[in-house]
């Protein structure tokens, strides 16, 4: 039983660290998922897994060695915390879980590395409409993420870039 408690303890703590990082510091970093489908899957797992992870803490927080009063308090407060996390999840789904930057147009490709591009993007919020636009340089990391840098196309060194003006991820008839 101690091994099971230890496994659940470290799994839930790791999940909490990843979730808190993704919802706080991760939002401020200039690194984004390269594919919006992977981003949605990641945030779906995080947002839907938070209440479950809170409930799983019961496995390793309730112990026979503790006073019955403390175990009852933990047993009551943990489901309440799960409900609060569930409502927090619902409120953040629309701001974090559904919106994604979508490549409207690939404007430039780097001469030396064609996977490094300058794109015109729009924030796609699904049924909530399109948001702001931006022009960014995308530099891939491990094929999963992009380092995103906002650029002004009038100030780039045109000898390093090839004008391609390709259609991005948004398809038009």
pLDDT of 81 reads 81
SS3 140: strand
What are the tens digits of pLDDT across the range 48-60? 888 888 888 877 7
pLDDT greater at residue 28 or residue 63: 28
Q: What is the largest CA-CA distance in the chain?
A: 73
SS3 172: coil
What mean pLDDT is predicted for residues 7-34?
88
Number of neighbours of residue 120 by Cβ within 10 angstroms: 16
Whole-angstrom distance, CA of residue 96 vs CA of residue 137: 22
Report yes or no on whether pTM surpasses 0.85. no
Residue 5 pLDDT > 90, yes or no?
no
Question: Which residues, including other chains, have CB under 8 Å from residue 96's CB and lie 6 or more apart?
Answer: 23, 27, 43, 47
What does each C-alpha distance from 12 to 7, 23, 95 come to in angstroms?
Answer: 9, 16, 24
Written as six digits, the tokens of 165 are 């003006």
SS3 139: strand
Whole-angstrom distance, CA of residue 139 vs CA of residue 88: 33
The residue with tokens 């930057």 is 101
Residue 98 pLDDT > 70, yes or no?
no
Whole-angstrom distance, CA of residue 120 vs CA of residue 122: 7
When mean pLDDT is compared across 43-52, 122-131, 156-165, the lowest value belongs to 122-131
When mean pLDDT is compared across 71-75, 115-119, 134-138, the lowest value belongs to 71-75
N residues, the chain: 173
């Amino acid at each position: 039983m101690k091994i099971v408690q230890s496994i659940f303890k470290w799994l839930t703590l790791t999940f909490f660290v990843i979730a808190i990082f993704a919802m706080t510091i991760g939002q401020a970093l200039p690194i984004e998922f390269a594919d919006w489908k992977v981003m949605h899957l990641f945030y779906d797992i995080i947002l839907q897994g938070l209440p479950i992870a809170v409930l799983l803490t019961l496995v390793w927080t309730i112990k026979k060695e503790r006073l019955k009063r403390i175990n009852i308090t933990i047993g009551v407060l943990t489901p309440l915390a799960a409900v609060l996390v569930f409502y927090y999840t619902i409120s953040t789904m629309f701001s974090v879980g559904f919106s994604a930057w979508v490549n409207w147009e690939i404007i430039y490709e780097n001469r030396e590395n064609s996977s490094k591009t300058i794109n015109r993007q729009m924030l796609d919020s699904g049924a909530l409409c399109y948001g702001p636009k931006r022009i960014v340089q995308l530099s891939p990391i491990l094929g999963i993420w992009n380092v995103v840098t906002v650029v002004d196309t009038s100030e780039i060194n045109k000898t390093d870039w090839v004008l391609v003006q390709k259609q991005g991820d948004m398809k038009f008839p």
